[in-house]
Amino acid sequence: MQFHTVILRYLEMELKSPFTTSFGTMKTRPVLLVEVIDQDGVHGWGEGVAFFAPWYTEETIETTWHMLEAFLIPLLFQAPVYHPDELRDRFSLIRRNCMAKAALEGAVWDAFAKRHHMPLHVALGGEKQEVDVGVSIGIQPITNTLKRIEQALAEGYKRIKIKIKPGWDVDVVRDIRHHFPHVPLMVDANSAYSLCDIDRLKALDDYELLMIEQPLAVDDIVDHAKLQAKLQTPICLDESICSYEDAKRAIELKSCRVINIKIGRVGGLTEAKRIHDLCQQHRIPVWCGGMLEGGVGRAHSIALATLPHFSLPSDTAASANYWERDFIEPEVTVHRGRIFVQKQHGIGYAVNLAEVERRIVRSKIYKR
């Protein structure tokens, strides 16, 4: 495939309700949509998942746009692509900037699958026809939290995740366990703790949590190893794993017992697959994380989660969990905690350009 056109679109999406984590509150979600077109007019779609501010990782929507415009799109135009796996090498000249790389690589994967007349999950080697789904609930007053959990369970979600931070942790988990003694429950700290908080984190061992996600600093797999040795509850790493090498080191150091794979955080589907295979070899369970994506990003995550070693529910809730109206057709729906994988070629969902247009902040066309 020789790509000759790339279109970047910056959308602003209003969340149905604000989402609060230990690092802040989001009311709106910027979305970077990437559309690539090859010499035969095959289109592919990708989504950049960086936020407005660099509080999850160092990337932002604007740094992503810049990296794409100045470096990654020119590299894509430079030569034909026979298989999307080649982009990992081609983009390796550029340090980090994983979300920018993943946005463009994801669009190429979609075009590749469409060109070869197969669904994206088949192109990736996925085997499942349906994926299990959990829901991630932001920090909010306890009565609202309990109400949200009840609602999510009624909708069939297979696992509940709540966000925690120092002062919003043990008491909340105790309250939840009081009302829902046996629901599959986990917590995500988004790096809000340090080893000084070990007693507080150890107190969580009493509540049968599936795992504690990313309790310590973003880049600290050494302290995570020390913490894991003292905790019964498995640690799941999110922010700390940005590559195959990161995963290899974390496994070797025993920094975690579970890994959350996000396509954007690790720089694309090819790298996500490599991490999946590594974790499979080492019997480290994996699941597919979420970034409050719009429909295109979610479609890529669903395809990834069909790989055989994704054994735990994904953070890929239904479109209606986030938006009044998603910009894909059909919207993502969840039935009894499962998403049925689309059979159409490529990502399996069509982009609804009318829904895209009404949210556009700016857009730009790049030609070879």
Contact of residue 246 among Mg ion, ligand OSB, none (CB under 5-8 Å per partner type): none
Q: Does 60 bind ligand OSB (CB under 6 A)?
A: no
Catalytic: which of 101, 158, 163, 273?
163
CA angle (356, 18, 137) in 5-degree steps: 105
Q: Is 300 left (phi over 0), alpha (psi -120 to 50) or beta?
A: alpha
Strand locations in the chain (E):
3-21, 24-38, 43-48, 130-132, 135-137, 160-163, 185-188, 212-213, 235-237, 258-261, 286-288, 328-329, 338-340, 350-351, 360-367
Four-CA torsion 222, 25, 316, 246, nearest 10 degrees? -20
Residue of this chain nearest to ligand OSB (CB atom): 290
294 near ligand OSB, judged by CB under 6 A:
no
Reply yes or no on whether 163 is catalytic.
Answer: yes
Task: Classify 167 in phi/psi space as left (phi over 0), alpha (psi -120 to 50) or beta.
Answer: left
Give the interface segment with ligand OSB, choosing from 173-181, 223-231, 285-293, 326-334 (CB under 6 A).
285-293
> Is 262 assigned a catalytic role?
yes
**Scanning residues 62 to 101, which ones bind ligand OSB (CB under 6 A)?**
none
- Contact by Cβ (8 Å): 23, 30: no
Does residue 292 touch ligand OSB according to CB under 6 A? yes
Pairing, β 3-21 against β 24-38: antiparallel
Reading the block at residue 67, the tokens are: 């990296």
188 binds Mg ion (CB under 5 A): yes
Least CB distance from residue 187 to ligand OSB, whole Å? 11
Residue numbering of the annotated binding site for Mg(2+):
188, 213, 238
Counting contacts by CB under 6 A, is residue 240 touching ligand OSB? no
Q: Which is nearer to ligand OSB, 114 or 224 (CB)?
A: 224
Give the x/- contact pattern for Mg ion in 198-217, rule: CB under 5 A: ---------------x----
For residue 266, state whether it binds ligand OSB (rule: CB under 6 A).
no
Partner whose footprint covers residue 290, from Mg ion, ligand OSB, none (CB < 5 to 8 Å by kind)? ligand OSB
CA distances from 266 to 16, 55, 76, 95, 334 (A): 28, 16, 19, 12, 26
Give least dist CB 239 to ligand OSB, A: 7
Which residue number, 238 or 293, has a Cβ lying nearer to Mg ion?
A: 238
| Shortest Cβ 127–Mg ion spacing (Å) | 26
Query: Strand 135-137 relative to strand 130-132: parallel, antiparallel, unpaired?
Result: unpaired
Q: Which of 64, 97, 140, 190 binds ligand OSB (CB under 6 A)?
A: 190
State which of residues 47, 105, 169, 238 lies at the interface with ligand OSB (CB under 6 A).
238
CA-wise closest residue to 298 among 345, 330, 346, 332: 332
Give me the catalytic one of 101, 158, 161, 262: 262
Residue in the block written with tokens 């939290």: 145
Give the C-alpha separation, 290 to 301, whole Å: 8
- List the one residue from 188, 246, 271, 355 that touches ligand OSB (CB under 6 A): 188
Per CB under 5 A, contacts with Mg ion among 235-264 are 238
Angle 116-120-124 from CA coordinates, rounded to 5°: 95
Question: Per rule CB under 6 A, is residue 317 in the interface with ligand OSB?
Answer: yes
Binding site for ligand OSB (CB under 6 A): 21, 56, 136, 188, 190, 238, 289-292, 315, 317
Residues annotated as part of the active site: 163, 262
